[in-house]
A and B are shown apart, each in its own frame.
Chain A
Amino acid sequence: MLLRHTNKEILEREALTINPAKTCQPIGAMYAALGIHGCLPHSHGSQGCCSYHRSTLTRHYKEPVMAATSSFTEGASVFGGQANLVTAIDNIFTVYEPDLIAVHSTCLSETIGDDLQQIVTKAKDDGKIPEGKHVIYAPTPSFVGSHVTGYANMVAAMAEQFAENTGKPIDQINIVAGWMEPPDMREIKRLAKELGVTIQLFPDTSDVLDAPQTGKHVFYPKGGIRVPDLKSTGDSKSSIALGCFSGEPGAVALDKKCKVPFKTEDIPVGLRATDRFLMRLSKAAGVKIPESITDERGRLVDLMTDMEQYFHGKKVALFGDPDDLVPLTEFLLDLNMKPVHIISGTPGKRFEQRIRAILADTHADANVKNGPQADIFLLHQWIKNEPVDLLIGNTYGKYIARDEDIPFVRYGFPILDRIGHSYFPNIGYMGAIRLAEKILGVLMDRQDRDAPEESFELVM
């Protein structure tokens, strides 16, 4: 009983977060930056933050995660971090030779009021940025938003600071990726190829954070969108943003700067969100959905019908990031499951609106909360008051799963204690099949475990 300290009685908390269902902006910015080829993320602040962010990403992906730090000391905190950042830029280009540096701020540099734009301009004027190299920047103070907004801010910075409208339109569609795993990004590219559509996907962490073993440790693995491609996004026909929290700000920035119109869709988790995404893409590019993809969909539907009896009526508690939870909740409903408790640490009105709308017809009484005090502690208390058959969330859910003896599917960020999330997609029809398989797996394992001897069955 690790969480024996969680009590059933829910008291209104005003000030405190217990067992957070979110983390801070810079780690999102760091992750997004890794989705550009040849990019070294840079954390403008003290060493600790950078070290924690790298450790967490390393634990999640089991890959070397590179990022530099401005290494603030007390001096920098008093006099400002300009000198540190300018030196850092100089050092990084000399030693680590990236194509670009993506700087994000931290609480510390934000609080002392460092102006990243001004400092980067200064570095440029001082000749610290070599010809053909780039430095981009995004403000990511952690006392606003969460890791999700940090990701969005860096993606918006990519659009703002790279996209160019040359006046010569290119027959391609931008896909602004919300926070997805590398295999999800790979899946988006596969689906587009299957449709025969040219896309520019950014950021793209596939082949960066799932790089093959080669016997070498390279700082810049082969994946990631290349700078010229990123520039070309300004000439694309249109953009599709995936996820209104993590993807949309990038598309908005692109529209503002280069007049590339966009539509926002959910991250294609589950059946209907995948349908919508594919329809959107096929319409934007003026192509038909090929039979191969219709077949994939058919296989998913086939699985859902075959297994319908095992899903129905099961109560689910879930927590994670808003752009993941919205389509996931919808998918759970399509599986005839009952989402009863939903928590996201990331603040933002649109989350509750979307979730409420999805639940309105069938589960209007579900517990839904996001923002301050929407944490894993509260989720645990809800579960104590109304038990569930299944828990879905990141690694930290394992405490609740163990204490309450609930089948548990790991989903979201971070996952520190299992593999698979960086190899197999969660999105698209194939991803939906995988998700359904995982859910079924834990439910049936539980059924087997609990079945009395006389009703233990071979065929289920």
Chain B
Amino acid sequence: MEKLEILEGRKKQVFEKNKETETFDIKCETTSLSGSVSQRACVFCGSRVVLYPVADALHVVHGPIGCAAYTWDIRGAVSSGPELHRLSFSTDLKEMDVIYGGEKKLYKSLLELIDQYEPKAAFIYSTCIIGLIGDDIDAVCKKVSEEKGIPVLPVHSEGFKGTKKDGYKAACDALMKIVGTGSTEGIGKYSINILGEFNLAGEAWIIKDYYEQMGIEVVSTMTGDGRVDDIRRSHGASLNIVQCSGSMVRLAKTMEEKYGIPYLRVSYFGIEDMSKALYDVASHFSDNPEILQAAKKVVSREVGELYPQLLEFRKALDGKKAAIYVGGAFKAFSLIKALDSLGMDVVLAGSQTGNKDDYEGLKGMCDEGTIIVDDSNPVELSKFILEKEVDLLIGGVKERPIAYKLGVSFCDHNHERKIPLAGFIGMYNFAKEVYESVMSPVWQFAPRKGGLS
């Protein structure tokens, strides 16, 4: 790691915050450079993660086997009921299908599956190759839907057609076809949908519980322990709450246009943002002061419990340095605040899919000298981690072993988290995990910088 260079074409995607950075013009929302060891995924990946938690729907990956195999149950989006989403269905295209088209195979597969499982709906993901061979999956879906009487929804998620974000859009478009098809009878005025919360390790249940304690009715958790019938009637809710990842903003916007349902963007990570997520909803329903009262009660109870515990962690973690490299930039905001409440300094903040506004926001929140980076790669990450003498890296599956090799502690804030990190209890879990990793005795045997100081 002596000689580290940043790819010429990437220079505009990396910034160090200092006085000269006034003309901050980060390049982002581009595809990765050819030949880079990018940490990014594809459109299909985006669609798959958003829709995956709809547990009583069939999820069929139309394409060769790999795309389905790699996304088989890799995200711990748990369900309180059906588990249909955790099976892996693939049309497993072969050479002949590629030449002659895979429509027939898809049609047959769907009939077989729907007869067997009687799902509430089916999502059909088209992968790269489908886009190329030009299968008309819309027509197949329509036909099957008519024959079987359930929504069969094409998800146009050909991997090469953009970034993961475009996959979110495709997923939202598919969901939008279900929204509005159910009866809204019995839905009260103080009602919300929770969007973009994937129920990893049961997080959606925690959030839902807070809102219910405030006297708010949760019509649908959409894509966290999601159910088709709830989504069908979700247009009856008064407000949409979109979790930070931003993956479902598009759906919220479309619902606003079509049904006049306003939306709020929130984050459930960290004390500050979690409290705000509850207060924002309460102030939206300002005609009912009881909701605000209840929100205050929830917050003061939870924070009261949490705060002394956090102080303990803070004692140990104060002044330690953290690097953040996550998927969505919005999450980085919450993480910076959460780390701040633990006394830790963020010296690197990066994301795979941030946009200009996100990075402006990051710049505003970060201290001098912090590195801000878009779509990074392992060489850069290692370089920054060493240069900045980082104590903790927060990232995803591909970043974990890099941190460990460098002798740096790690916390997964992406798919791989096994304990809930959302909500007040989540903040406790997060602090505990960070504490345990940073303070682990193992680092004494794992000298940083290859043993050089």
What are some 18 contacts across the A-B interface (CB < 8 A)? Answer: A7-B116, A11-B112, A16-B91, A17-B68, A17-B91, A48-B41, A48-B42, A48-B44, A63-B401, A64-B378, A73-B161, A77-B160, A87-B35, A111-B133, A143-B93, A143-B95, A214-B405, A216-B1
Q: Which residues in B have some Cβ–Cβ distance to A below 8 Å?
A: 1, 5, 7, 9, 31-45, 63-72, 74, 83-84, 86-95, 97-98, 104-106, 108-109, 112-113, 116-117, 127-129, 131-133, 159-162, 378-379, 382, 397-398, 400-402, 404-407, 445-451
Q: Is the CB of B72 within 8 A of A396?
A: yes
Chain A: interface residue count, which band?
Answer: 35 or more
- In the bound complex, do residue B108 and residue A14 qualify as a contact, i.e. CB atoms below 8 Å apart? yes
**For the complex, would chain B's binding face be called helix, strand, loop or mixed by DSSP majority?**
helix
Chain A residues with CB under 8 Å of chain B are 1-5, 7, 11, 13-20, 22-27, 40, 42, 45-56, 58-59, 62-74, 76-77, 84-85, 87-92, 94-96, 106-108, 111-112, 141-144, 146, 211, 213-219, 345, 372, 377, 396
A71 touches B66 (CB 8 A): no
The residue in chain A whose Cβ has the minimal distance to the Cβ of B5 is A95
Please name 4 further chain A to chain B contacts, defined as beta carbons within 8 Å, in addition to the given A11-B116, A107-B128, sorted by A numbering: A45-B160, A47-B40, A142-B64, A217-B382
Q: Which of B67, B74, B94 is A372 in contact with, Cβ under 8 Å? A: B94
Q: Which residue of B lies closest to A13 (CB)?
A: B112
Task: Report which of B9, B92, B112 forms a contact with A20, defined as CB distance below 8 A.
Answer: B92
Say whether B45 contacts A146, CB under 8 Å.
no
Cα-based distance from A109 to B37 in the complex (angstroms): 18
Note all chain A residues with C-beta closer than 8 A to B42: 46-49, 51
- Give the docked Cα–Cα distance between A353 and B41 (Å): 40
Given A19-B72, A143-B94, A64 and B35 contact (CB-CB distance below 8 Å): no
Tell me if B90 and A17 are in contact (CB < 8 A). yes
Which residues of chain A are near B159, meaning CB under 8 Å?
A: 46-49, 108
Which secondary structure dominates where chain A touches chain B?
loop
B89 near A95: Cβ-Cβ < 8 Å: no
User: Hey, which chain A residues are within 8 Å of B127, CB to CB?
Assistant: 107
User: Top 9 nearest A-B pairs by Cβ distance?
Assistant: A48-B42, A24-B66, A88-B35, A91-B35, A52-B70, A46-B160, A23-B69, A17-B92, A48-B159
List A contacts of B44 (CB < 8 A): 48
CB pair A215 B87 closer than 8 Å = no
Closest CB in chain B relative to A387 CB, distance in Å: 21
Contacts of A65 in B (CB 8 A): 398
Q: How far is the CA of A64 from the CA of B377 in the complex (A)?
A: 12
A77 engages B131 (CB within 8 Å): yes
Residue of A nearest to B107 (CB): A15
Option from A2, A49, A94, A214 in Cβ contact (under 8 Å) with B66? A49
Contact residues in A for B72 (Cβ distance below 8 Å): 19-20, 396
Most B CB within 10 A of own CB, among A20, A66, A144, A217: A217
Q: Which of B33, B36, B160, B400 has the most CB of A within 10 A?
A: B160
Let me know if B45 and A51 touch, CB within 8 A.
yes
CB of B124 to closest CB in A, whole Å: 12
Given contacts A15-B109, A17-B65, A108-B128, contact A71 B38 (CB under 8 A): yes
Chain A residues within 8 Å of B74, by CB: 55
A56–B117 Cα distance when bound, in Å, is: 29
